[in-house]
A and B are shown apart, each in its own frame.
Chain A
Amino acid sequence: MWDAFGFEFVNFYLIPGLVLGCIYALGAIGITLTFSILRFANFAHGEIMMSGAYLSWTVMAIAGYAGLTLHPLVAMVPAALLVILLFLGTDKFFYKPFRNSETIKVVMASFGMMLIIRSAVQVIWGPNQLTFVRGIAKPNPVLSDLSSDLGMMLIIPNKHLFIFAGTIIIVIALSYLLNQTRIGKAMRAVSDSPDLAHVTGIDVDKVIRATWIVGGICATAAGVFLVMDVQMLETTMGFRMLLPMFAAAILGGIGKPYGAVFGGLVIGLAEELSAYPWIGDAPLLSPGYKTGVAFAIMVVMLIVRPQGLFKGRSF
């Protein structure tokens, strides 16, 4: 079983697929929560992710001047705080005025925010690519030694291990928040029925703030993980992530955070595995069409099962 075929499949398709899946999953959590609690598709989510990554880069650069080398995961903490402020500010000035009007107005406002945030990032940091972490990522020696002793050589760089660990920690923390804490339960209640939640005395504004905070943390993590993976920053990356994240949220069912995680992993794996030479030697699908896979899955879901795999909300 574990021959050259397995080595190539696992290391060059499966693991990158899972890494990408983790990133999509974290982004999709924010989208699915916003969609179910605030009831609109937030087009600015990808750009928020991107700005989180740029903020982390800035924190690292400032620390670099002071002679400190910060790990991206450490730099992520102050960046996440700024992203949460950005989210709350956007909500206050651009989304809140439309809370009682038709939802499409907010979607429009978020579409405008997408362009405003991207242009702002381009004004501040310039349109060119920036490097995040220099150098080639070497595979983790302990893991590759251990696995090659077992006859299954795994070459996973440290950055991927960090991404896996980070995603698992965030998802566990999220499930604790949603199931055990008062605010988490309130979030689920608002997601199920805002009117009923309001009647039972839940502070909807507080729930909305909590949603932005959770979404902001997840979005920053997703942005930082993405640039850790590709090792560079560019201003279009948020927009490129947007469609797969929507696809993941719809696949898992709107309003289902676990569904979003599952959907993210499926979309990530599907994108990477679509380039695997399943039939013959050529890739099944030209790598240029990777983004198309997410869209195709989303369209199929919208036709067959708009409520998603986990029975989310369908509008």
Chain B
Amino acid sequence: MEAYVGYFLYFLSLLTVGGIYAIFALGLNVNWGFAGLFNVGIVGFAAVGAYTYALLTTAESTFHIGGFSLPLPFGMFAAMMTSAAIAGLIGLICIRLRADYLAIATIGIAEIIKLILKNESDITNGPRGINKIPRAWEHFSEERFYSSWPMNWFGTPENWEAFFGGLPHWYWQPLFAGTVLLVMYLIYCMLERARTSPWGRMMTAIRENESAARAAGKDVTRRRIEAFVIGAAIMGLAGAFFAQHLRLIEPTNTFDPAKVTFLVWVMLIVGGSGNNRGAILGAFLIWTIWSASELVITGSIDLISNIFTSIDTSLLVSRAGFLRMMLIGILMQVILQRYPAGILPEVRPASPKADKKIAGSTGETL
């Protein structure tokens, strides 16, 4: 029984992190898949979201500013808003330039955000980071929550303590995974609606042929900034979930561009850019490969060290992670060259007014 609980919890954590990455990938899909904006600063937006959430919701602390103990949903909402505001600023400056410049600017802004988080120790506790970030559902069993409104309205702290004492210690895990997946699903529904709406079709038009869209009277710059800001807001939300999942964030290792920006890009490219379902599929697929390969690698290193006891495996242990990164990079190159459309290729939304028979052959009918 115990063993099954262990497998179940591993599966749940796979779903949770996969879901968080799927939210990232959906955000990137709005940037890249819808509007063709090459955003390589995902890690920056994730960090902004995570830190906003962490500072607003943690208990008061002497290490960093605040700890404002605000409600969790408010923290997540604020994470989206800050991320969107920063994206709006970058968008106003860089979006009219060619895609390469946007790429340089986004990679730069991500580094600057990390620099600020690292240097402004009074606000963010610098390289030591922020810990004890409340995680949705698990936070109910913390004393500062059950002894204050609204939970103290339903029961005394002693009652709550007894209640949570009776639950298994992992009670929050299915609930948290469910929340992440629910939010992911809601975002997916909204984006699907946006994609098939006139706004989404206009996005495709701008991406495919900018001058034609401009000639048709579309405000190209404005639409692009919109797509950039919406994508960044979604990434900010994913960042807030990331902070909840980790509970301890710091600027350097948590927000490593290789593990956030690059992995999300691989997920979207493998899944199929422009396709929301593809983004989700890619995220779960790559995350499963990523974390399963960790198990396989650790297992095989153990096996080697058991068979050949004379070999020192510490070198293998320290290098295996980088080898995995390299293989993921090569996988991305292969997909990019051989299967540029990804697993689920983009389906062009047809106008609802279009002839269903014709639309059926070229695109999706509604």
Interface, chain B (partner A; CB < 8 A): 36, 38, 40, 93-94, 97-101, 103-105, 107-109, 111-112, 115, 118-119, 257-258, 262, 265, 269, 315, 318-319, 322-323, 325-326, 328-330, 332-333, 336-337, 340
**A298 beta carbon closer than 8 Å to chain B:** yes
Chain A binding site: helix, strand, loop or mixed by DSSP?
helix
**Could you tell me the distance in whole angstroms from the C-beta of A127 to the nearest C-beta in chain B?**
7
Q: Cβ of A123: which chain B residues have Cβ within 8 Å of it?
A: 319, 322-323, 326
Complex CA distance for A115 and B328, rounded to whole angstroms: 9
Question: Contact check: which of B99, B105, B118 meets A302 at CB < 8 Å?
Answer: B105
A243-B107, A295-B112 given; A107·B326 CB < 8 A: no
Assess the B98–A112 pair: CB atoms within 8 A.
no
Question: Contact check: which of A105, A108, A288, A315 meets B101 at CB < 8 Å?
Answer: A315
Q: How large is the interface on A (under 10, 10 to 19, 20 to 34, 35 or more residues)?
A: 35 or more
Can you list 9 A-B pairs, Cβ within 8 angstroms, ordered by A? Answer: A43-B40, A107-B103, A112-B333, A113-B329, A118-B258, A239-B257, A243-B108, A292-B112, A315-B100
Q: Cβ of A112: which chain B residues have Cβ within 8 Å of it?
A: 262, 329, 332-333, 336
Assess the B94–A302 pair: CB atoms within 8 A.
yes
**Could you tell me the distance in whole angstroms from the C-beta of A281 to the nearest C-beta in chain B?**
19
Q: Cβ of B332: which chain A residues have Cβ within 8 Å of it?
A: 112
Assess the A116–B329 pair: CB atoms within 8 A.
yes
> Which residue of A is nearest B92, CB measured?
A303
**Could you tell me the distance in whole angstroms from the C-beta of A241 to the nearest C-beta in chain B?**
12
**A2 beta carbon closer than 8 Å to chain B:** no
**A97 beta carbon closer than 8 Å to chain B:** yes
Complex CA distance for A35 and B119, rounded to whole angstroms: 33
A43-B103, A119-B323, A291-B115 given; A111·B97 CB < 8 A: no
> Which residue of A is nearest B335, CB measured?
A112
**A126 beta carbon closer than 8 Å to chain B:** yes
Interface string of A302-315 (1 = CB under 8 A from B): 11001000000011
Assess the A119–B325 pair: CB atoms within 8 A.
yes
Assess the B258–A115 pair: CB atoms within 8 A.
yes
**CB-CB contacts below 8 Å: A117-163 with B:** 118-120, 122-123, 126-127
Complex CA distance for A299 and B102, rounded to whole angstroms: 11
Assess the A127–B322 pair: CB atoms within 8 A.
yes
Q: Cβ of A119: which chain B residues have Cβ within 8 Å of it?
A: 258, 322-323, 325-326, 329
Assess the B115–A288 pair: CB atoms within 8 A.
yes
Interface string of A187-223 (1 = CB under 8 A from B): 0000000000000000000000000000000000000
Q: Cβ of A288: which chain B residues have Cβ within 8 Å of it?
A: 115, 118-119
